């Protein structure tokens, strides 16, 4: 893969994975608009490992506290188990619909529709904030509601962070708390996806050929961009709302739908 393509797609992954704009759609659309061939499984793994590394680096203290509290005996389910339970629905749905998510659902018109629809719903959720609950008030109904919402993220154009933040807002959480739980919940989901892909590559022809400069560069760039975006986005949400992202989704969805009428889908 040419170096410019590696850099562009790794940056797109690192940025779009953690903003509520859909990394899957942006990766597909970048390749479609530039006329690039869709990336292979090895490259997908490097991007997933990069964003997983970003999550681990940024939230390591949180994960240490969460793991330590898993068997603390505190009243109510500890955060660790809420994250585990919240990850179950998308895991089951991912196994059931992995073929559609990887093939038939990856078309620009569907992505455009999801960009617009989820953007509108996200805007409604953003305007519904009244209680502005913190993460300390998280309970089982909250975790399951947000976890179930992740299923919709299997459809490209939805945005995993977008739909889970939206669900968190509808549950009454503050913007920052909803985003923080979304990112914590992303860790086991992305780890499971990366592990599944690694196993598939190992069965096919081993993992040695993945240790190449292209793979490592893509992982490093997506990880670095991801850490910066997580920090910046959480800082932003403490001070502002989601309207810019709502407008971006709706406008870009309209543009993509228009382009889909005059361009052929990516191969």
100 close to 17: Cβ distance less than 8 angstroms: no
Q: Could you give the number of structural domains in the chain? A: 1
Nearest in space to 77 (alpha carbons), one of 14, 162, 53, 86: 86
In a domain, 96, yes or no: yes
Assigned domain for 83 exists: yes
Within-domain flag for 92 = yes
Identify whether 102 is part of a domain.
yes
pLDDT tens per residue across span 110-153: 999 999 999 999 999 999 887 789 999 999 999 999 999 999 99
- Long-range Cβ contacts of 98-103 (<8 Å, 24+ apart): 100/154, 101/154, 101/155, 101/156
Summarised one tens digit per residue, pLDDT across range 55-112 is 999 999 999 999 888 877 665 678 999 999 999 999 999 888 888 887 788 888 999 9
Work out the percent of the chain whose per-residue pLDDT is above 90. 64
Residue 220: inside a domain: yes
pLDDT in tens, 198-244: 877 777 766 666 667 888 999 999 999 999 999 999 999 999 999 99
- Indicate yes or no: pTM above 0.85: yes
155 is a domain residue: yes
- Domain housing 122: 3-260
Determine the pLDDT at residue 206.
63
DSSP state letters, 15-51: HHTTTTT-HHHHHHHHHHHHTPPPP-HHHHHHHHHHH
In a domain, 266, yes or no: no
The phi-psi region of residue 40 (left if phi > 0; otherwise alpha if psi is between -120 and 50; otherwise beta) is beta
In a domain, 138, yes or no: yes
Burial 254-267 (b: 16+ CB within 10 A, else e): eebbeebeeeeebe
């Amino acid at each position: 893969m040419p170096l410019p393509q590696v850099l562009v797609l790794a940056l797109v992954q690192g940025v779009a994975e953690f903003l509520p704009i859909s990394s899957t759609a942006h990766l597909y659309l970048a390749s479609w608009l530039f006329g690039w061939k869709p990336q292979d499984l090895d490259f997908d793994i490097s991007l997933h490992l990069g964003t997983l590394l970003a999550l681990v680096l940024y939230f390591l203290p949180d994960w240490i506290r969460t793991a330590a509290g898993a068997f603390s005996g505190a009243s109510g389910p500890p955060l660790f188990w809420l994250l585990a339970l919240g990850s179950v629905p998308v895991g089951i749905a991912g196994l059931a619909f992995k073929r559609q998510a990887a093939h038939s659902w990856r078309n620009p018109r569907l992505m455009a529709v999801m960009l617009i629809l989820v953007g509108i719903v996200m805007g409604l959720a953003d305007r519904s904030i009244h209680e502005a609950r913190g993460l300390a008030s998280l309970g089982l109904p909250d975790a399951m509601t947000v976890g179930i919402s992740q299923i919709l993220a299997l459809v490209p154009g939805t945005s995993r962070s977008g739909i889970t933040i939206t669900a968190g807002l509808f549950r009454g959480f503050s913007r920052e708390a909803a985003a923080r739980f979304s990112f914590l919940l992303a860790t086991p989901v992305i780890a499971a996806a990366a592990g599944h892909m690694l196993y598939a590559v190992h069965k096919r022809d081993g993992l040695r050929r993945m240790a190449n400069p292209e793979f490592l560069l893509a992982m490093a760039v997506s990880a670095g961009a991801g850490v910066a975006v997580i920090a910046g986005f959480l800082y932003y949400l403490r001070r502002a709302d989601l309207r810019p992202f709502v407008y971006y989704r709706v406008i870009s969805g309209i543009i993509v739908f228009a382009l889909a009428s005059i361009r052929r889908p990516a191969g």
